[in-house]
Structure 1
């Protein structure tokens, strides 16, 4: 959203279900300024997954576009990371894997539909509370699809630089493997409360991503298997990075899926077992 948009909470009286209504002021003098909003509506309309923000309807009225979406009650992953960092309260490996598995499930669905997200970052990973027994967790809802597009070799420079892959930053052309790099950045940030690469200028960031290697995550706090996955996702060669499907099939990730399902922290139906076997 931008300065010409606002979000309104709507509660349906009969069902007591809450929705978010996004109101966007359209710029009729410049159709290009409207493209991001219509693109998000179009692409989200192609997706149906428990870990992806759902658009229920959209319509225009006068100079405004209205989009009715899922309501999420717990902000986003960026806010949660900030709160935990300020409290010096690191995520446990269980918590990290709980979010990571859900993000992978959403990403697999997007890539299966030939869509590249292109702006996958904590700010676009929305959270809503779920309660299992006496344990409160968050259901991930991936949003922020205004930079997304159909999958193809791309040269366009979009997204948030700190989460962009080397091939995006260096304008070498990129595919959905750039989304995998972005997930690696998110995973690294959950483990360390900082980004794998940063710079005060875009050029400084370019230089670090191109020439340096990220520091390993803390082996005292996280397992070698998780550290290896982080390293794999942050491979500078996109051909080395696994797909979301391949990541979900890794024995280490499968082990965590089993644990989290047994604890009913994620929905069994959300694992898409049949699709994983394809």
Structure 2
């Protein structure tokens, strides 16, 4: 099990709610990591549970577009979650583009959108909702490109403090694993009736739609270079295609909000995925893996 002694402190990065975010290096591997640390003795039961579930999910959600955690540990009253280092986040990129008056192209917008959608589709298939889809939740990790492109960021979805698990068994797993089985609010779901499970699935669909609507607003943020919530998101079709405008409308205008799986099947989205693969901006193997997962679910 990891301890704080395995890491060397570099600098404090900032705050995320009541959590301190600090940069450390692993003493053995010399790799950079973020460590999110929160004093569990001074937060509410709800926030404490959110921290524990987030830590569990980051260790068990294995997807190239989801942030990874190699471990977590207590250090006194502080609970620390170690995550992989990332270079930036989408919020910072949008802010920088706003200041420099350098708008995103539709190619760039869809590059980020498709990766976020891959991550969201994956967690929804696990019966998990994110609950906090926004530009600050999208971490970006640089990678080497030999194509002379400026699109060098891989999306890493982060900030799972508000995530909810809608699988009865999975809801109990993080509590058992972290040895706090007294939290009966979660463990009681192991004994759910059929009616309660049906109600849970209805709530999952509602929360999943909220994730999609939030992603639609984020898509509009990228097009308009705004990071504030918009009541009626619209984009200028002089700069972006009607197809992209229609996609935003479809994702943000209830009651008929498509699922992540349905979005991936839209011709407009599939055409862009093919373009991104052709330009080597997303990995063909990643696309094929995602398509295989969808096919297996249908079977």
**Superposition TM-score, scaled by structure 2 size:** 0.74
List gaps (5 residues or longer) in structure 1.
Answer: 153-172, 199-208
Aligned equivalents of 2:69 and 2:282: distance in 1?
A: 22
Q: CA RMSD in A?
A: 2.2
* Secondary structure of 1:174's aligned partner: helix
Say if 1:72 and 1:127, in contact at 8 Å, map to a contact too: yes
Aligned equivalents of 2:25 and 2:233: distance in 1?
A: 46
Deviation of the 1:41 alpha carbon: 0.9
Residue by residue over 1:138-169, the C-alpha shift from the partner in whole angstroms, topping out at 9 and shown as x without a partner, is 111111100110239xxxxxxxxxxxxxxxxx
Deviation of the 1:61 alpha carbon: 2.2
Question: What's 2:98 paired with?
Answer: 85
Residue by residue over 1:88-123, the C-alpha shift from the partner in whole angstroms, topping out at 9 and shown as x without a partner, is 111000000000000000000110010111111101
Say if 1:18 and 1:71, in contact at 8 Å, map to a contact too: yes
Question: What's 1:17 paired with?
Answer: 31
Say if 2:69 and 2:83, in contact at 8 Å, map to a contact too: yes
After the TM superposition, which of the residue ranges 55-64 and 129-138 deviates more from structure 2? 129-138
Instruction: Work out the number of aligned pairs and report it.
Output: 241
Say if 1:124 and 1:142, in contact at 8 Å, map to a contact too: yes
Q: 2:208 aligns with which of 165, 176, 180?
A: 176
Q: 2:249 aligns with which of 231, 234, 259?
A: 231
Deviation of the 1:32 alpha carbon: 4.0
Matched, 1:264 2:296: no
Say if 1:129 and 1:139, in contact at 8 Å, map to a contact too: yes
Say if 1:116 and 1:175, in contact at 8 Å, map to a contact too: yes
Residue by residue over 1:197-254, the C-alpha shift from the partner in whole angstroms, topping out at 9 and shown as x without a partner, is 54xxxxxxxxxx5xxxx253111111111111011001121xx111111111112211
Question: What's 2:226 paired with?
Answer: 194
Deviation of the 1:44 alpha carbon: 2.5
Question: Larger Cα Rg: Structure 1 or Structure 2?
Answer: 2
Matched, 1:276 2:299: no
Residue by residue over 1:165-199, the C-alpha shift from the partner in whole angstroms, topping out at 9 and shown as x without a partner, is xxxxxxxx93311100000000011011236854x
* Secondary structure of 1:128's aligned partner: strand
* Secondary structure of 1:54's aligned partner: coil
Aligned equivalents of 2:43 and 2:108: distance in 1?
A: 47
The structure in which a higher percent of residues are helix is: 2
Matched, 1:146 2:178: no
Aligned equivalents of 1:263 and 1:17: distance in 2?
A: 30
Deviation of the 1:63 alpha carbon: 1.0
Say if 1:118 and 1:148, in contact at 8 Å, map to a contact too: yes
